[in-house]
Amino acid sequence: MRKFLTLSLLAASLAAPAFAAQGLQINGTFIPQARIDSAVKQMTAQGQPDSPQLRQAARDRVVLTELLRQEAMKKGLDKSPDYRNELENLQSALLANLYVRDFMKSHPVSEADVRAEYDRMKVQMARKEYRARHILVPSQEEAAKVLEQLKKGARFEDLARQYSIDTGSKANGGDLGFVDPAQLVPEFSGAMTKLAKGQITQTPVKSQFGWHIIQLTDTKEADFPALDAVRAQLEQQIQGQRFDAYIARLKAQAKVQ
């Protein structure tokens, strides 16, 4: 953990400009304000709100890093193989991250790109929602009795209020509202989606909850979020797809031995 913290702070300091109007003097070594600002940016990027306390913590972190750096220099650790290896790894990671940022900047996502992806997703994710009523009873025999009353003209809603053991829907005449079939147990959704509007299952449907008699009352296309609500997500998705494709080409062309 300490090693990771030190490397993270070193990354922030390497990314900072070499000069600044303000800064710190630590045992005679000048630390530019930009290095503290970089530490603040790193902390806020992790979700911490900017505040005087956070800025003080960033300053303390930079001071600690410099003090530890000075102690390491006194011991000659900057000449050790471990240091050189870590520095090379860190520099490689920094350059790679800078290239990713440059790639994203030089490959902006246009409004046409966003709208095309939005339309594609609307077609791909289009689904139907179903509105149904049901009467849930504990046994097949009771379900058969309810079906017999329905065949004689009894109202579905009335029988649901009288016989259903589903306390969440019986007061509403068994109405479940509009639902995505994927949210229901397979036995129920399989029977429901085969019904025409207004039709009732001719035989009881068994599930882990008991025996169902189902009536389909309506269907509609499921709502899809507005473009503005998913714009940022789509932009990130498009950029990610482009970068993945670029990386795939790089790997295919690379000579790795």
d(CA 186, CA 153): 29
Helical (H) or strand (E) element with 23: strand 23-26
What does the pLDDT read at residue 213? 98
Nearest to 218 by CA among 202, 201, 184, 195: 195
Tokens of 225: 């979020």
Helical (H) or strand (E) element with 130: strand 128-137
Burial 1-34 (b: 16+ CB within 10 A, else e): eeeeebeebbbbbeebeeeeeeeeeeeeeebbbb
Using CA atoms, how far residue 109 sits from 120, 152, 241, 245, in Å, is 16, 63, 11, 15
Other CB atoms within 10 Å distance of the CB of residue 86: 15
Dump the DSSP string for 31-55: EEHHHHHHHHHHHHHTTPPP-HHHH
Nearest to 143 by CA among 126, 160, 131, 127: 160
Which domains does the chain show, CATH number per domain? 2-97 (no CATH), 125-221 (3.10.50.40)
Q: What single DSSP character describes residue 1?
A: -
Nearest to 87 by CA among 165, 6, 182: 6
What does the pLDDT read at residue 157? 97
- Report the chain (257 residues): mean pLDDT per 10 consecutive residues: 44 41 87 94 92 95 96 94 93 96 94 95 89 97 96 96 96 96 95 96 96 97 92 95 95 90
